[in-house]
Amino acid sequence: MEILIKKYIYKLIPFLILLSLGFLVFSNTLTSEFVWDDTLLIEKNVYLKDWTHIPKLFTRDIGAGAGLTYGFYRPVLMLSLMLDYSMWGLDVRGYHAMTILLHVLAALGVYYFALLICKDKNIALFSSMLFLVHPIQCEDVAYVTGRADSLFLIFLLLSFISYVYYSGKASGIYLVAASFFYVLSLLSKENGLILPVLALLYHHVFKVKVKKAGFFLITGIAALYLGVVMFIIRPDAFSSGVMTSWVERVPGFFVAFRRYLTALFIPVNLHMGHMHKTFQLADAGVILGIVFFIIFLAITWAARRSNMLFYFCLLWFFMGLIPVSNVVIPASSFMAYRYLYLPAIGIFIIFSSLSLRLNRIRTVKRFSGIPILFCIGLFSLISFNQNRYWSDPVRFFKRTVDFVPENLSAWNNLAAIYMRRGQRVKAVRLFEKMIRQHPDFHSPYNNLANLYKDMGRIDEAIALYRKAIQLRPNSSDAYNNLGKTYVIIGKKDEAIEWFEKAISVNEACVGAYVNLGTVYLEKGRFDKSGFYLEKAIRLDPDCAEAYNNLSVLCYRTGKISEAIEYCRKAQGLGTRVHPEFLALINKIEHARN
């Protein structure tokens, strides 16, 4: 029995090493604020706030709960965020801890994947450690919604490993497992579509006979996924809005290819916010990238005869880049370091293997582990330092625009953070500058209008809201904010029209339902007020303002018990109840007791 226990403990060692190292390196992300898409996909996503919305996660775009369209179908990602919300609300520490854990599990998957193809536990362990701590991973770990990569990779590797076991004449249960995990991978992120290509790569390199039933099954799953997503769930899926042809995008691939290889070995100046760019073949960066690519192909061809493991890993790197190359499928960014999450595994295995080969040289055998341990330590320190940029949104967006000054979204987000922090002068200057320099960019108009409204510059705010709507007719925020502005100046009927338009373009616009309920309450239309306020609560069970207004509505209609209940609920959610109404509720409750 003791031997059996020791055996299982020994098997846990890789996981415990990766778990400890992962939380050590990324510990300083635990208190980082939500940033970029985290704000929209988590904080403003009403579909995460109640389990009754699960069917919507599996039938709609990832941004639907926030009234946005991203063009992505990732229900497993959204389900993981819903689980987080159910456990810790909007406490960032819980989300970050779960994201780190998923990255650790992905690294564990890399360990078993490497062990499968190279049959060496040391290579497998060092490869997974490099994968875990490399600075290119900061985008996927410090950025909560970046966990989509961890989720898809965990299930992809489980599916690949199960498929390999099945191909080796093992039980058909492995094919069932491969199919199950593959479905989960696809539902986590569309990059999982690459599995059939990777399976063919395995058969080609290691000369393993293809079992038609198994290969056709995973290929059929991929085809079914594409059909369902593109023709039923999201007809505009995978559409980035990029209008360039694949020929125009090819030069950018060479630029990205060179930067990727450089970042893997010299990971400095890494940043988010790469835009969609086109390059000319005569550009110096393109020419250098082509040189890198030719050398890479030459090394791969040489490995074809001399080292099958290296040949497989080099092709794994190249094949893994295909879905994110911006050539086959146009992307909103011509490159991003998070795109290396899958491909880089091949490079890490090669590097680990080469480093440990020093063990075969008698004169340096004693020091064979030093180079790779040095790299793991150095990469860990760089990652820990890199995480600091994610700890504060202002620092993050300032760094982003320093590297990519043409990124308008980053500038807009920076100004919006100034606005939320009460730094109005900085925010106004930045929004006004963006509007002057980029008059067709819609976001600053709505944000500047919010500032002007709060500053009492109502006419200017209305004009800006209308301009925002003109530039982006499906902006529910602009409709809703314009409606609130008309309430301020007493034009409630006009306000109702704008609130209804907000709902017409975004059925999950909780604010518009609350505002409609409030306006109808003030107009004495209690039936309509109750309808909209209850609708808001069904969408967002934590909407304090809706409970507060429902309390007032119930009091006015003589439903005293419900008024007290809703008032206490609103207080529990942190909203400020009007002092006079609260005193009245307290008096009634005291009299009843």
Total Cβ atoms within 10 A of residue 377: 11
Q: Which long-range contacts (CB under 8 A, 24 or more apart) does 284-293 make?
A: 285/254, 285/255, 285/258, 286/251, 286/254, 286/255, 288/258, 289/253, 289/254, 289/255, 289/256, 289/257, 289/258, 289/259, 290/254, 292/254, 292/257, 292/258, 292/261, 293/254, 293/257, 293/258
CA–CA separation, 317 and 343 (whole Å): 4
Which residue's structure tokens are 């074809």? Answer: 304
Question: Could you tell me if 122 and 354 are in contact, meaning their C-beta atoms sit under 8 angstroms apart?
Answer: no
How confident is the prediction for the chain on average, in pLDDT?
Answer: 90
Of residues 150, 190, 126, the one with CA closest to residue 26: 150
CA–CA separation, 439 and 470 (whole Å): 12
CA–CA separation, 154 and 107 (whole Å): 8
CATH superfamily of 508-593: Tetratricopeptide repeat domain (1.25.40.10)
Rounded alpha-carbon distances, angstroms, from residue 573 to 17, 118, 541, 550, 557: 41, 54, 10, 14, 24
171-205: pLDDT as tens digits: 889 999 999 999 999 999 999 999 999 999 999 99
Question: Could you tell me if 35 and 146 are in contact, meaning their C-beta atoms sit under 8 angstroms apart?
Answer: no
Structure tokens at 517: 């309920």
Q: What is the pLDDT of residue 501?
A: 95
Q: What is the pLDDT of residue 217?
A: 94
DSSP 199-245: HHHHHHHHTPPP-HHHHHHHHHHHHHHHHHIIIII-TTTT-------
Q: What is the pLDDT of residue 2?
A: 59
Q: What is the pLDDT of residue 3?
A: 61
Q: What is the pLDDT of residue 572?
A: 82
Q: What is the pLDDT of residue 301?
A: 95
Domain ranges in the chain are 508-593
CA–CA separation, 317 and 344 (whole Å): 6
CA–CA separation, 583 and 562 (whole Å): 16
CA–CA separation, 483 and 515 (whole Å): 8
CA–CA separation, 77 and 174 (whole Å): 25
Q: Which residues of the chain have pLDDT under 50?
A: none
CA–CA separation, 415 and 431 (whole Å): 7
